[in-house]
Structure 1
Amino acid sequence: MKVRMTRNAFDLNGALGHIAVPEAGGYVFFLGKVRSESHGRRVRKLIYEAYEEMAEEEMERIRKEALEKFPILDMLIWHRYGELEVGDDTILIIASGKHRKEAFEACIWAIDQVKRRVPVWKREVTEEGTFWIEGNKVVPEK
């Protein structure tokens, strides 16, 4: 599967196997992880909620747009949901290209699009409380 929402940790080699081809000279991985600090607060965990079917459809649109926009060979986009601890994987994007430059550019573009367009909502559970994260905006949970 080149696009998926999952509760499971990523297998990077398994993921690569979905897009590996002999023509590719470069693979760029973007691996997002739960970090221990955000907006000056210590993070205990993240809770990702998603409209799974719609999220996968939008990630597939992003994947197809990337294939049209950049001279890459393929792209994989996987996103986790559920409760994730500090250090857990959150998102994986792999772009393959004949050369590294286009794979890097496509990967950067894709993560920005996923953050902007995919219906996934993030809550940070911190020592100070729980907060919804909307882009760069932090909204306390009521």
Structure 2
Amino acid sequence: MEVQIKLFATLKDKVGSSKVTVSVAEPANVATVLDAVGAAYPALQSSLPIAVVSVNKSFAGLDTAVSPGDEIALFPPVSGGSSDETLPHPTYFAITADHLDIPAIHAHLTSPEIGAIVSFTGSVRGQTQRDGLPPETVYLEYEAYSEMAELKMAQIAREIWQKWPLVKGVAIVQRIGRLDIGENTTFVACASGHRDQGCFEAARYGIDRLKEIVPVWKKEVGEDQSVWVEGDYRPTEADN
């Protein structure tokens, strides 16, 4: 059978395409697909041992079965609006190229029972000071596997409610595209009745978890070089 694989960030750059196609014998699993990709696209071979694979927008292991028509994506570890009516509390999740309207996002979480909203806002800094990256950043370029990203944002909200049941609302927003120095990149907010009901801790957990499991990548662009930033955390099926 023929299998089409979506590529992101460094993997996309290595082959100059956002999609590749390979042929595998049935029955197939992720391991056989990766073997076929490595054979057909030698430029990807060095990246495959640490690449993350998703099948139908869920993290997959080597033994995960692959069937005709499955949506398969291959990407490096994550570098660090809509709502889901099945979720029990107000939410706002978005992958967007637009500027953040923070009061409007807060409005999604506001209700008569809410007395506290704690938020984290990330922004582009001009000096990275990390080995292998440009010493000074001109701008960042963000890319996302958007359809999977919003599902993972909803998962983070569910994890937050398991850990902090008194948190009533969660907003997670990631911007994509070119972002210049000082522009906002990420936004996480958690709402509760009072400030001592877990909203501070939940907001910190939300941004940390976003950088682990939400498929978003950034490219640091300097005067003389540009580098995709890859994270150290490699999601597994346990992160679904």
TM-score (norm 2): 0.55
Q: Deviations over 1:56-94 (max 9, x none)?
A: 111111112112211211110011011111111111111
The CA RMSD over aligned residues, in Å, is: 1.5
Structure 1 residue corresponding to 2:108, chosen from 10, 13, 18:
18
Structure 1 residue corresponding to 2:122, chosen from 11, 28, 32:
32
Larger radius of gyration: 2
Structure 2 residue corresponding to 1:73, chosen from 168, 174, 186:
168
Counterpart CA distance in 2 for 1:76 and 1:21 is: 14
Structure 2 residue corresponding to 1:98, chosen from 182, 189, 193:
193
Task: Give, in angstroms, the shift of residue 128 of structure 1.
Answer: 4.0
Counterpart for residue 137 of structure 2: 43
Higher normalized contact order (CA 8 Å, seq sep 6+, divided by chain length): 1
Instruction: Tell whether the 8 Å contact from 1:55 to 1:120 is kept in structure 2 after alignment.
Output: yes
Counterpart CA distance in 2 for 1:18 and 1:133 is: 32
Runs of 4+ with >3 A deviation: none
Counterpart CA distance in 2 for 1:67 and 1:8 is: 28
**1:134 aligned partner, one-letter code:** E
Q: Unaligned 5+ residue runs, structure 1?
A: 137-142
Matched, 1:120 2:210: no
Aligned residues with identical type, % of pairs: 36
Query: Paired residues, what number?
Result: 137
Counterpart CA distance in 1 for 2:125 and 2:170 is: 25
1:76 match: secondary structure: strand
TM-score (norm 1): 0.90
Q: Unaligned 5+ residue runs, structure 2?
A: 1-81, 83-91, 233-240
Q: Which has the higher strand share?
A: 1
Counterpart for residue 8 of structure 2: none
